[in-house]
């Protein structure tokens, strides 16, 4: 059966329309993209933490005619992280030591910083490490030393030592 010219035209139109739709679908099925702005910021931070248990410091001996022998204890440590420059660590006691007794502390310094060595502690903050800049370090040593004179009380006691990281001078 032969198709009329009008029928052939209709078929051509339908096939042509189907082709256009197929091409359009192919273009619309292509990859799509989307964008998003991500905002970020790093804030200044300085953190310190101590680890280990400070064992008892016991002054238990003295040579006749001399002051009692000091007792030292190592074995505790601290860690520090800062993304700031010119920071320092201070240390202070929560209350004064009894008459005739002193408690000193020495902290190891992270790379690039300076330790003040062994410092006698009081209730006012003392700079124990200075010159700290952009560092992350752990297992830095802490050493305590208890000294007593003959007038020191014969009784146990304890003090809380507070370490603070702050801007240096």
Q: Say which CATH number the domain at 89 has.
A: 2.60.40
End-to-end CA distance of the chain: 103
Let me know whether 3 and 57 are in one domain. no
Let me know whether 23 and 51 are in one domain. no
Count up the domains in the chain and report the number.
2
Residue 40 lies in a domain: no
**Close Cβ partners of 21 (under 8 Å, ≥ 6 residues apart):** none
Q: pLDDT-derived band of residue 86, with 50, 70 and 90 as boundaries?
A: very high
Q: Report pLDDT digits (tens) over 51-81.
A: 999 989 999 998 998 889 999 999 899 999 9
Domain membership of residue 13 as a residue range: 1-30
**pTM, rounded to two decimals:** 0.78
Residue ranges with strand state E in 15-94: 46-51, 71-82, 87-93
Residue 35 lies in a domain: no
Let me know whether 71 and 136 are in one domain. yes
Let me know whether 77 and 113 are in one domain. yes
Q: Report pLDDT digits (tens) over 104-145.
A: 999 999 999 999 999 999 999 999 999 999 999 999 999 999
Instruction: Tell whether the torsion through CA atoms of 83, 87, 88 and 89 is positive or negative.
Output: negative
């Amino acid at each position: 059966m032969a198709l009329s010219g009008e029928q052939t035209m209709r078929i051509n139109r339908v096939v042509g329309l189907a082709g256009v739709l197929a091409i359009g679908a192919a273009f619309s099925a292509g990859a799509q993209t989307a964008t998003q702005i991500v905002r970020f910021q790093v804030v200044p931070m300085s953190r310190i933490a101590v680890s280990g248990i400070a064992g008892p410091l016991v002054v238990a001996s003295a040579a006749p005619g001399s002051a009692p022998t000091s007792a030292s204890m190592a074995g505790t440590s601290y860690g520090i992280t800062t993304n700031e420059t010119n920071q320092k660590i201070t240390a202070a006691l929560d209350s004064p030591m009894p008459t005739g007794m002193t408690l000193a502390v020495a902290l190891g310094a992270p790379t690039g910083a300076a330790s003040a060595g062994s410092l006698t502690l009081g209730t006012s903050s003392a700079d124990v490490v200075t010159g700290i800049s952009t560092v992350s370090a752990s297992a830095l040593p802490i050493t305590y030393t208890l000294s007593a004179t003959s007038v020191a009380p014969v009784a146990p006691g304890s003090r809380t030592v507070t370490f603070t990281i702050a801007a240096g001078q």
